[in-house]
Structure 1
Amino acid sequence: MNISKNAKGHAMASEKTRPSLPSSRSAIALAILGLSGLQTVAQAQEAAESAMPELVVTAVHDHSPLHVVADPKQPRQPVPASDAADYLKSIPGFAAIRSGGSNSDPVFRGQFGSRLPILTNGTTMLGACPGRMDSPSSYISPETYDLLTVVKGPQTVAWGPGVSAGVVRFDREKPQLKDGEIRFSASALAGTAARIDQNLDFLAGNESYYLRLTANHSQSKDYKDGRGRIVPSHWDKWNTDVALGFTPDAQTLIELSAGTGDGEARYGGRGMDGTRFRRESAGLRFEKSAISPLLSKLEAQLYYNQADHVMDNFSLRPFKPSGHMSMPMASNVRRTTTGLRAAATWELTPATSLQTGMDAMNSPHDKRSGSAMQPYGSKPWMRDARFSNLGLFAELNRQLDLENKLVAGLRLDRAQAWRYPDASSSMGGMSMAAGNAAASNHRESSALPSGFVRWERKLAAGSTVYAGLGHVQRFPDYWELISPGNSSAVSGNAFASLKPEKTTQIDVGASWKAQDWQAWTSAYLGYVQDHMLFDYRGGMSSQVRNVNARTAGVELGGSYRLTPALTAQATLAYSWAQNATDQRPLPQTPPLEAKLGLDYRQGAWSAGALWRVVAAQHRYAAGQGNVVGKDFGPSAGFGLLSVNAGYSVHRRLKLTAGMDNLFNKNYAEHLNLAGNAGFGLPGGQRINEPGRTLWVRADLKY
């Protein structure tokens, strides 16, 4: 650290409460020993029936109308970073707002933030940073989950409010175990820029109970771009979760769960780095099925998720005074989200099922800050905001005949927000009466409706077509109401004037399947009334206002088996968005992107190649964006070639190696932050992505 001796002492005092991260050498040694031991056990247990993943995932296809289902444990190329956002980029239509290394923010069809809820085991985990340095996806380690499900567009009401872009769910499935059965899987990855990952999933139990432990650790140093320049992007993160389940019969589940994690990340595109990403989680889940001919399933859960995040400008970078940070500074923010969900599934007739339920969430936000002279740990927590939501939903599935199906849903939400200004603040230079202050610091929308209706038809030879109409009203989130620079307690600010966002969208699509090929397409056309848009006024200072917008886009993909061992794959995604109020493009819209791949599998060998082609983006709105980033101008197109090869040493052990960006292309994503002057990077220019990246991975499953 390039700071004074006195500042160093205070920095150390501020970090005393921060848990130390696992030693890299210790983690590597544990991974090697663990893999060696697990291999020995696996070879001694030939009776087990588990199989290794066969291919590195280079393309993900639609599973059913508007649904994408994937296995997050399978290796992917390009190698994802440690966050869920980077993992989702393998699904057509997804992009990520990048800032160097880890902790990107996911974007789907050009929509961002609370328009795209990301759930883990049905629960909501929200970040605390006012600038989303710790985006919700940064607390998720995808490979510790069994199932990844994406519902596109406003086509479900059962998983929380504001689902306008879609909903992403990472779930751990209920295990089916025999007496004394033990299962585990482990993986280890090493790559360029000192990239080291370890993952472990252990499960033991019988027909009456089970114990499951998942753990992961991921780290990387700064990477080099295609021209060999170092980009600040270091991260070091870990997560551990444990679940104890009781299954007194095949129809009943009671599960207690708890988890924690922490980490740090350096950001080449921000003025501060994240030195703490502490997560604490707990939950209780109950499921009961086959209750009666009418009531087929009952499910309920309670959860607690807390994000405790620290950011500073001296721990992970040399301190350099800037305009608004003239000394070493640190900020500690905390978001505690508690909630519940209950749902019942009714079999009204043999062809009609109805799911009814409710969910509720309460999420206060606290903060404290410090400097080299006054560490944040000595300061009391100050509450600046609290959000709550109560929702009721019903979703109907009706099989009209052998070919036709109708799916429909309706939801009502009551959303509230509270703001807590400092006691010493004044309104426009004048003190505000207590009654008026209380009224101006509380917002409520008592009945936000959402709903959809979708028709699905099965055609001959496994083909399907569908069409759906959905409408969502979304209450402004913390980043839109509290975070912007104009949301201080003054008349006419965003907290008082920002209207809920109203999205109406048509979704259509089709899929075709045959013995050697499959193809699918999905398209959408939408209108957004009161879209929440960020206008940047210089630096990171922003103002939020409502505009109207039009959106449209398409995703399509397919695969064809050329020979019994060789399969070709292709996907394409395009999003278009227009600010109808200002008559200019809507900002932060990803460009046209296509992926072409070849996958080979013969005996114990596998191989693959992926060519990712991204078009130039000429539709932009300079100076406008979202709470994380803004448009700088047009971006250049690029093409990247990546390759991989694998060999199954044993039916439970597979080794894979790959090379991303084979030709060391120097490029930057359109959705990206500009370089920060504290690292000597040019401002106003997007951060470059990694150059040629080599990696090797071992997967073991027992």
Structure 2
Amino acid sequence: MGHLPRIASLGQRQINGLSMARFLQTRGKPIVTYNEPSRDDHRMTVCRPLHRPTLLRASILAGLMTTCQTAQAEGLETILITAAEPPAIDEPTTLTGEETAPRADLAETLREISGVEAGRMSGHGLDPIIRGQREHQLNVLLDGAGIANACPNRMDPPTSFGNLAGFDAVEVHKGVTSLTRGPGGSGGRIELTRNTVERAAEAGMQSRLGFATSSNGLADQTSADVLLSDGNAYGRVIGQIGNGENYEDGDGNEVPSSFKQRSGTIIGGYRVSEATGIEVSIDRNRMLDTRYAGSGMDSVFDNATIYRLDGRLGDLEGPVDALRLEVSRANVDHLMDNYSLRELTAPMPMEAPAESHTTTARLTASSRIHQVELDYGLDFQRVEQDAQAFNGMTDMLMFRQWPDGRTDQMGAFVEGDWQVDARNALRAGLRVDRLESEIDSHLDKSIATHPMVPIAIRESARGTKSDTEISGLLRYHHSFNGNLAGHVGVSRTAVAPNLTQRYITTLMNGNLMKVGNPELEPETHHQVETGLSWQGERLVANGNLYVDQVDNYILQDRKIAGLMPMTTSFRNVDARLYGGELDLSYAVTDWLATQAQVSYVRGRNTSDSRDLPQIPPLSGNLGLHAERGALDGAVVLRWAARAEAIDEQSGLDTTETAGYAVLDLTAGYDIHRHWRLEAGIDNLFDRTYAQHVNRAYSGVFGDPTARINEPGRTVWARLTATF
């Protein structure tokens, strides 16, 4: 794919009367790196981008490039493009807090990206989906650290522990673009990033303060971010407080979704240069009294602590150019019950304490051999999860959902980027992973010991499961001319079963409701992806097509031989996922732009000739953005077609889901170069609608049309200050 330049600080420099500094702070603006003209050359060179701009940014940028042609005539500084940028291998879609409306959960923000959805369970804890893939098919990193959910029902997916008030940006890589950031990731990768090292190069204090509120759900969200640096040593403190209330859908029905969030981060480090330094950090995230409309229980607390060490050594002499060591430890403590935050309607009070511990380590080296940049190294991840269920009146252990389970992954990887010439680039990668999982088979009332579990499953669960998997990647990018670029990629990746799929045990009213399958094989994904991008003077377009043939896809099913009809388990099938995304934008004038996005994915269980469950339908948006002086605004129509491709046998789909179209309005005003005020209305016409990817499992046992509806009309506002 072709890509666009990136904007750094431009001060108050203007192009055709537009203040470029505001593009840093306004939703839907371009981000470019600006090089001050030298005494001998009054030109701007296009630098290698760090992130791919969103479609709306791209449309405005394309229009600005056109207006540059008249800038000299108006007495403004001349800007020229000196050379075509070679095609980029990996172009993530990047969002920052300044570009998006305030949300209760990060995954809700990710829905703004084509090809990305999120299953709603409540106001908090939405679970992201990329190209129809979810959960452990996605790799999620929080400033380089891995973290695993502590709730077996995924009240706390990894993205729920991150928010854009505590990070500088979130990068979404759709599909397989690299093998250096861990195993799996067949659906893509989500990375929450901080640019502390880069910002610390400037001595002094930098701060960012924010406050947001809404009329429906998010009561208040306050954040503060302060960085102190002398150019080498630095310290950074980040804090955020958020409170959510139950929101109402378009019909005025209250959806249980309230929560309290408290998070804080301390970062300390020393930078010798951009490539050399050391950094340590501690993140603490507390979720309290979180209600879940899509579950029979609520979360009393969900507390996460992440410790991280990042050491870099660059500009080395000899065969190795750079070394990097990343080590992290994430601990999560969780308690859910069915009586503290809701009226008890079940036959007995239940409570389920759970915990997870994720340890990651990655050692990466970089070398350059002629025109090839090599990254190679070792990585390790251990996930430990334990969950139990007790009778809330007698404290009697009812069953163990995760009986002190553990998964280990040890991998080795090598990946090379070859810039063949100005028009062609190639990436090739290979990794080998050793995967193991086991439980404490001596614990009572687990999958290995509970009398309700079939004997064959009990016996299988007592042994250690191990696999060795090989993954490969090849991506080729070509620039046809200054406007058109394309790419094609092929990959093979393996996704190991997680502890839930292999070892979960859940009982209800004396019946075995869900049980794992210890004999599951890892999924093997064989993917082909191709895409084109066009960047003209006013029109910017990006399109992708992909096919993913999956051997041993892990399917949740309700009709498995040897189990009762009401019992849900997992089995391997062959499957195919295919689809595409199209993003278009057009700069009507230098202050008005239109944009459109559409995405489609289809999933088929080819073993049984039926659809895969919880696959998003055809969806997209259509927007109009305007900016004039200190004011800007946007109108966006979000829509989705009716979801007709469903799988009722899985227990995840219950019936088709109606399509919808919803209108959102946003506006912003730069009060001062340090202060910005934003406001908006989501779901302007108060429509009642629901996403098809939905966590309303109760519909399986009750009304099959039941869904967790999205919020109705919501008025929001945000004030931010940057110093």
Shorter-chain TM range is 0.7 to 0.9
Which residues in structure 2 correspond to 1:457-472 (within 5 Å)? 457-472=478-493
Offset from partner CA, 1:112-162 (integer Å, 9 cap, x none): 111111111121111111111211111111332123222221231101111
Paired residue secondary structure (2:107): helix
Answer whether contact 2:614 2:694 (CA < 8 A) is retained: no
1:345 to 2:369 alignment = no
Superposition RMSD on alpha carbons, in Å? 3.0
Contact map agreement 1:73 1:144 (CA 8 A) in 2: no
Alignment of 1:240 onto 2:264:
yes
Q: Map 1:387-402 to 2 at 5 A.
A: 387-402=407-422
Equivalent-residue separation in structure 1 for 2:486 and 2:410 (angstroms): 34
CA distance in 2, matches of 1:586, 1:681: 22
Match of 2:558 among 532, 536, 544: 536
Is the partner of 2:596 in helix, strand or coil? strand
685 and 675 in structure 1: CA distance in 2 versus 1, 3 angstrom threshold: same
Q: Secondary structure at the match of 1:87?
A: helix
Whole-Å Cα distance in 2 between the matches of residues 184 and 527 of structure 1?
A: 48
Residue aligned with 2:179, SS: coil
Query: What does residue 227 of structure 1 align with?
Result: 251
- Please name the residue that 1:55 is paired with: 26
Change (3 A) 1:354 1:620: same
SS of 1:85 mapped into structure 2:
helix
- Alpha carbons 1:60, 1:92 under 8 Å: kept: no
Distance 1:465 1:529 in 2: 28
Equivalent of 1:572, from 583, 594, 598? 598
User: 1: CA distance between counterparts of 2:272 and 2:162?
Assistant: 30
Whether 2:504 is the aligned partner of 1:483: answer yes
Matches within 5 A, 1:175-574: 175-177=198-200, 180-193=203-216, 195-264=219-288, 265-292=290-317, 294-321=319-346, 326-349=347-370, 351-374=371-394, 383-424=403-444, 440-445=462-467, 447-483=468-504, 494-536=516-558, 541-574=567-600
- Matches of 1:386 and 1:297, distance apart in 2: 33
TM-superposed CA distance for 1:234, in Å, is: 1.0
Q: Alpha-carbon deviation of 1:366?
A: 2.3
Q: Distance in 2 between matches of 1:234 and 1:429?
A: 38
When residues 474 and 158 of structure 1 are mapped into structure 2, their CA distance, relative to the original with a 3 A threshold, is same
Alpha-carbon shift at residue 195 of structure 1 (Å): 2.0
1:15 is matched with none
Moved more, 207-216 or 477-486: 477-486
Aligned to 1:165: 187
The residue type equivalent to 2:293 in the other structure is G
CA distance in structure 1 between the aligned counterparts of 2:624 and 2:666, rounded to whole angstroms: 10
CA distance in 2, matches of 1:640, 1:367: 40
Structure 2 gap segments, 5+ residues each: 1-19, 30-52, 59-87
Q: What is the match of residue 633 of structure 2?
A: 607
Deviation at 1:250, TM superposition (A): 4.6
Contact 2:539 2:584 survives alignment (8 Å): yes
Alignment partners' CA distance in 2, 1:252 and 1:359: 20
Tell me, what secondary structure is at the counterpart of 1:286? strand
Q: Deviations over 1:665-699 (max 9, x none)?
A: 0111101122759xx99565112111100001111
Distance of 1:69 and 1:430 partners within structure 2: 47
Bigger Cα displacement from structure 2, 145-154 vs 646-655 = 145-154
Pairwise CA distance, 1:463: 2.5
**Counterpart in the other structure of 1:30:** none
Q: 2:615 aligns with which of 589, 592, 597?
A: 589
Could you tell me the percent identity over the aligned residues? Answer: 28
Please point out which of 158, 168, 172 is paired with 1:146: 168
- 2:80 is aligned to none
CA shift at 1:284, angstroms? 1.0
Greater shift after overlay, 166-175 or 390-399?
Answer: 166-175
- CA distance in 1 between partners of 2:202 and 2:577 (Å): 54
Matched to 1:366, the amino acid is D
The CA distance in 2 between the partners of 1:547 and 1:182, in whole Å, is 56
One-letter amino acid of the structure 2 residue matched with residue 557 of structure 1: D
Deviation at 1:373, TM superposition (A): 3.4
8 Å contact from structure 2 (residues 89, 425) kept in 1: no
Indicate conservation of the 8 Å contact 2:93/2:113, yes or no. no
Write out aligned runs for 1:18-37 (5 A): none
Asked if the contact 1:268–1:675 (Cα under 8 Å) also holds between the matched residues in 2, the reply is: no
Offset of residue 342 of structure 1: 0.7
User: SS at the partner of 2:125?
Assistant: coil
The structural deviation recorded for 1:65 is 5.4
Do the aligned partners of 2:207 and 2:227 also contact (CA within 8 Å) in 1?
Answer: yes
1:108/1:224 CA distance change after superposition, 3 Å? same
Change in 2 beyond 3 A, CA 1:676/1:219:
farther
1:461 match: secondary structure = coil
Pair 594,69 (structure 1): closer, same or farther in 2 beyond 3 Å: closer
Compared CA separation, residues 547 and 484, structure 1 to 2 (3 A): farther
CA contact (8 A) 1:675 1:687 kept: no
Change (3 A) 1:91 1:644: same
Preserved contact between residue 450 and residue 471 of structure 1 (Cα < 8 Å): yes
Q: Select between 171-180 and 51-60 the one with higher mean Cα deviation.
A: 51-60
Aligned partner letter, 2:211: A
The alignment partner of 1:219 has SS state of: strand
2:92 alignment partner, one of 57, 68, 71: 68
Mapped partners of 1:51, 1:76: distance in 2? 15
Moved more, 145-154 or 639-648: 145-154
For residues 660-699 of structure 1, the aligned pairs below 5 Å read 660-674=682-696, 684-699=705-720
Q: 1:233 to 1:205 in 2, by over 3 A?
A: same
Note if contact 1:521-1:554 (Cα within 8 Å) is conserved in structure 2: yes
Query: What is the TM-score of this pair, normalised by structure 1?
Result: 0.85
The separation in 2 between residues aligned to 1:372 and 1:632, in whole angstroms, is 31
Aligned counterparts of 1:431 and 1:224: Cα–Cα separation in 2: 41
Correspondence for 1:90 among 98, 105, 112: 112
8 Å contact 1:67–1:149 — kept in the other structure? no
Secondary structure of the residue that 2:518 maps to in structure 1?
A: helix
**In 2 relative to 1, CA 98–290 (structure 1 residues): closer, same or farther, beyond 3 Å?**
same
In the alignment, structure 1 residue 124 sits paired with structure 2 residue 149: no
Q: How many angstroms does 1:633 deviate by?
A: 1.4
Tell whether the 8 Å contact from 2:402 to 2:500 is kept in structure 1 after alignment.
no
Q: Distance in 1 between matches of 2:160 and 2:673?
A: 33
- Secondary structure of 1:480 counterpart: helix
**CA deviation vs aligned residue, 1:28-51 (integer Å, no higher than 9, x gap):** xxxxxxxxxxxxxxxxxxxxx986
- Unaligned 5+ segments in structure 1 are 1-48
Alpha-carbon offset, residue 575 of structure 1: 0.3
Task: Report the Cα distance in structure 2 between the residues aligned to 1:380 and 1:273, rounded to whole angstroms.
Answer: 18
When residues 239 and 665 of structure 1 are mapped into structure 2, their CA distance, relative to the original with a 3 A threshold, is: same
In 1, the alpha carbon distance for the partners of 2:411 and 2:492 equals 15
Question: Residues 100, 366 of structure 1: CA spacing in aligned structure 2 closer, same or farther, 3 A cutoff?
Answer: closer
Kindly provide the CA deviation profile for residues 235-294 of structure 1, in whole angstroms up to 9, marking residues without a partner as x: 211211111011234541101111111113101111000111100111111011111263
The alpha-carbon deviation at position 428 of structure 1 amounts to: 8.8
- CA 1:269–1:175: 2 relative to 1, 3 Å: same
Query: Which amino acid is 1:127 matched to?
Result: N
Aligned residues: 633
Whether the 8 Å contact between 1:499 and 1:530 is mirrored in structure 2 is yes
Q: Is the deviation greater in 494-503 or in 309-318?
A: 494-503
Q: Is the 8 A contact 2:389 2:400 kept in 1?
A: no
